[in-house]
Structure 1
Amino acid sequence: MSNYITTYTRRHFDPVNPEPADMDIKDIAHALSMICRGNGHVSSFWSVGEHCILCAKEAAAKGYADRLVLAALLHDASECYMSDVPRPLKQNMKQYKEQENHLLDVLYTKFLGTPLSEEEEKLIKDIDNALLWYDLKYLLDEELEERQPKLHVEPDYTVRAFSEVEKEYLEIFKRYKI
């Protein structure tokens, strides 16, 4: 068998040895729009792509630089090549986490010029964690003990067509592209 996956744009991509030339934002937008958050354990379909769009909108609403808005949009881009693994499992998968971090560094370098700094990673993780709180509340009716995080955008969990999510993802990418 081959050591690559065939992407939506028909590229051959090796997630273990990623080549920036084989990464296409169309593949990322398409795949993330079709991958369900929470490993599918949600009350209605909510894609990783929609989550990333909401993260980017939150970063923009906070007044973050274009680079960070784009980083928020791309923060789960590795999942289009590696799939979405739930946090409790991912935290115990050292090799997977290392590979994911490497892939994200390659993605950030291709689309942002450099990997994220520790400070930038923390800002993106804070947005990601805040939106996870809302995902759990609105998609599973789960109230977490932590206080409700303040957002600068209003989450809308309306189910949309995959093509609409893909289109919006690409529009945000083009608007903030460095």
Structure 2
Amino acid sequence: MKVMNASGRLIDPFNLQPEDFDPRIIAQTLSRVCRFWSQTSEFYSVAQHCLVMESLFDDIELKKWALGHEIFEGLTGMDIPSPIKHSPAMESYRRAEERALEQLADIYGLPKPMPKAIKLYDKRLMVTEALRFMNTVNFDWTQIADPLPLKVIGKPLSMAEAQQQFLVRWYELFEM
């Protein structure tokens, strides 16, 4: 199965190649994908989520992992909600996502596996974002993890702002 990305390149999301990991495509895609299955009160991109994640760390390797931890979404445009992603029907998706993270580590010289701190802060940031952008009437998001201070999110960025800031930060961190 092959799909076309913004560059016109055909990629197979379940068999990604090193040349598929184009930071320009990743930045464009993540800046257009809205968090929480687009059910937010206002547009908040996965690119901005990654930028906020990166800002939470001081260690350079953690910063790189934080910026790149949504790589599969950046290559495919699919941000699947956790309850769906963790269903048995999504096993091949989860395996492809894990392979993409391993490939990111191989391509950019990051330690494997992705550090536990990234997973922990990703969950905490998700709760924080949910408290800011999602309906909290019927669900207690804090049962998932302790939120971070809401101010870490800042104002929502436009698609263009998120794309530009993500790409600039990518080039700075990965010294491209």
The match for 2:95 is: 98
CA contact (8 A) 1:57 1:69 kept: yes
* 1:81 Cα deviation after fit: 2.9
Is residue 30 from structure 1 mapped to residue 28 from structure 2 by the alignment?
A: yes
Following the alignment from structure 2 to structure 1, what is the Cα–Cα distance between the partners of residues 142 and 161? 34
* 1:169 Cα deviation after fit: 0.3
2:40 match: secondary structure: coil
Q: TM-score, normalised by structure 2?
A: 0.86
- Count of equivalent residues: 168
Following the alignment from structure 1 to structure 2, what is the Cα–Cα distance between the partners of residues 100 and 145? 26
Is residue 128 from structure 1 mapped to residue 126 from structure 2 by the alignment?
A: no
The match for 1:74 is: 68
Q: TM-score, normalised by structure 1?
A: 0.85
Deviations 1:106-130 (CA, angstroms, capped at 9, x unpaired): 12221x224533xx43110111011
Percentage identity across aligned positions?
26
Structure-2 change in CA distance of 1:73 and 1:145 (3 Å): closer
CA contact (8 A) 1:70 1:177 kept: yes
1:21 match: secondary structure: helix
Following the alignment from structure 1 to structure 2, what is the Cα–Cα distance between the partners of residues 89 and 4? 23
* 1:141 Cα deviation after fit: 4.7
Q: Structure 1: which 5+ runs fail to align?
A: none
Structure-2 change in CA distance of 1:135 and 1:152 (3 Å): closer
Structure-2 change in CA distance of 1:31 and 1:104 (3 Å): same
* 1:21 Cα deviation after fit: 1.6
Please give the root-mean-square deviation of Cα atoms over the aligned residues, in Å.
2.0
Deviations 1:109-167 (CA, angstroms, capped at 9, x unpaired): 21x224533xx4311011101101111100015253447434597221x2322111111
